[in-house]
Amino acid sequence: MKGRTKSKFLRIKCACGNEQNIFAAASTAVNCLVCNTPLTSPRGGVAQLTEKATLVKTLE
C-alpha cells in the first residue's frame, strides 16, 4: 500500500440507532458494532450501503 489511499469516510447510521464511521473504499463488509447488522457490502471497491444503513454525512 503506497500513496493510493483515499481518505474518505462515511458516517452512517444503523437501523438500531448506532452511528459509526466507515471507510468509503472499504473492500470488506462492515457490520454494525452494536447489533452486528451488515451496513455495507463492497462492490467494485466502493462500500455500498445496505437497506439497514443510512448515510449521515460524508467526511473528507
Nearer to Zn ion, 6 or 36 (CB): 36
> Nearest approach, Cβ of 34 to Zn ion (angstroms)?
5
- Assess 35 for contact with Zn ion (CB under 5 A): yes
Q: H/E/C letters for each residue in the chain?
A: CCCCCCCCEEEEEECCCCEEEEECCCCCCEECCCCCCEEEEEECCEEEECCCEEEEEEEC
Q: Which residue has the cell 462492515?
A: 30
26 in contact with Zn ion (CB under 5 A): no
Number of residues interacting with Zn ion: please give it, by CB under 5 A: 7
**Chain positions contacting Zn ion, by CB under 5 A:** 14, 16, 18, 32, 34-35, 37
